[in-house]
Amino acid sequence: MSQVVIVGAGPGGSMLALLLARSGVEVTLLEMHKDFDRAFRGDTVHPSTLEILDQLGLAEKVHQIPHTKVYGPSFNTSKGLFQPFDLRRLKSKFPYILMIPQAKFLELLTAEAARYPNFHLQMSANVQELIREDGTVRGVRYQTSESEGEIRAQLTVGADGRHSRIRHLAGFEPVKTSPPMDVLWFRLPKLDGDMEVGSGLAGSFGAGRILVVFDRCDHWQVAFVFPKGQYQQVRAAGIEAMRQAIVDLQPRFEPHVETLRDWQALTLLSVESSRCPRWHEPGMLLIGDAAHVMSPVGGVGINYAIQDAVVGANLLTRPLLEGRLEENHLAAVQRRREFPTRFMQGFQALMQKRVLAPALASTQTTIQIPTMFRWLVQVPFLRDIPPRLIGFGIQRVSVET
């Protein structure tokens, strides 16, 4: 019997497993996939997470993974290049966002956790049901390609993403919002003489579309943003029209788009934002996307999941080791994390409403940044607020156990 079973070996689940294992808690981590070698939505590691990794002695190791650094966005506008904020203004050892393959990041976390004999990882484990006894969740039953298994535990943690099986089995329904956009996610090759993206991230607006480009060392990771509900319209126009739309937004990509020969090269990401009113019941806790799906604005989803994990480990380790875990301990995790989550989701909604929605509704070929907004980001005190929000949220989180 494990003291904790965590379902979902994403950033939040893997970090929680590592923190609990290093504190002496018997923990089993279940992952439905056979490995981490697959495409992920996000690869951003923010200053908040880098400081946590530094506490654990892992900052140097994560920097050894091939990466690029993002210091802030740069947008082409009707009045030239516009940089709304610069993370280099942060008072941190790591004033940047690290872009690394999430698969490599998860391998690092689970390999570090595997140094502790009380950590157990089971891949290809699909959870089938929750074990309930006297109104309390006491573990899970799962299935692999070869057998069925059962793990009983004091605590079951759902860290299994936006389509959480644990959340579904518990009967929890998130309250959803509908951000005004969807995204086509794809790669373009790097060619000789390519543009420089000094800040690591560049954006272009035009004719109701947004193109966001991330420098990923050996390729460009591209997000083509368009109004929600228009995917069938975009696809019906054909791949050639898609290539032309990319070139219209970023003419330098004209030779690159020839590599987009069919729709298999593009992945549709349906953007959503949601939050469960309740993250827990006796014996069970939800964290990360299972509890709250973040909008892609600011790329903070991974880091909020990791902050959930750190707060969870800080508050739950002692009750677990002493065998006195109660639901009020789980409620304390939600209390600590709900306000920062709600605040960030509110900030994201504001940016979507005031900046993204007008840009996606516009027929202009370039976007105009309001003069007042341009002025505000030059004010010394005000210009430091966005970097702090993106880098850390409204509070720094650190490992206490």
Instruction: For residue 311, name the pLDDT band (cuts at 50, 70, 90).
Output: very high
pLDDT over threshold 70, residue 295: yes
Helical ranges in 117-171 per DSSP H: 165-170
pLDDT over threshold 60, residue 78: no
Q: What is the pLDDT, as a whole number, of residue 207?
A: 77
Q: Which segments of 207-286 are extended strands (E)? A: 209-215, 219-227, 267-270, 273-275, 280-281, 284-286
Q: What is the pLDDT, as a whole number, of residue 218?
A: 85
Contact 243, 397 (CB under 8 A): no
- pTM to 2 decimal places: 0.93
Contact 352, 179 (CB under 8 A): yes
Percent of the chain exceeding pLDDT 70 equals 92
Q: What is the pLDDT, as a whole number, of residue 7?
A: 98
Q: What is the pLDDT, as a whole number, of residue 278?
A: 97
pLDDT single digits (tens) 161-185: 999 999 999 999 999 877 778 999 9
Percent of the chain exceeding pLDDT 90 equals 68
Write the CB contacts of 207 (distance below 8 Å, at least 6 apart in sequence): 248, 362, 363, 364, 365
pLDDT over threshold 60, residue 60: yes
pLDDT over threshold 90, residue 214: no
pLDDT single digits (tens) 369-400: 666 666 666 777 777 888 899 999 998 999 99
Contact 185, 220 (CB under 8 A): no
Least confident of 75-89, 112-126, 261-275: 75-89
In this prediction, residues 46-66 reach a mean pLDDT of 97
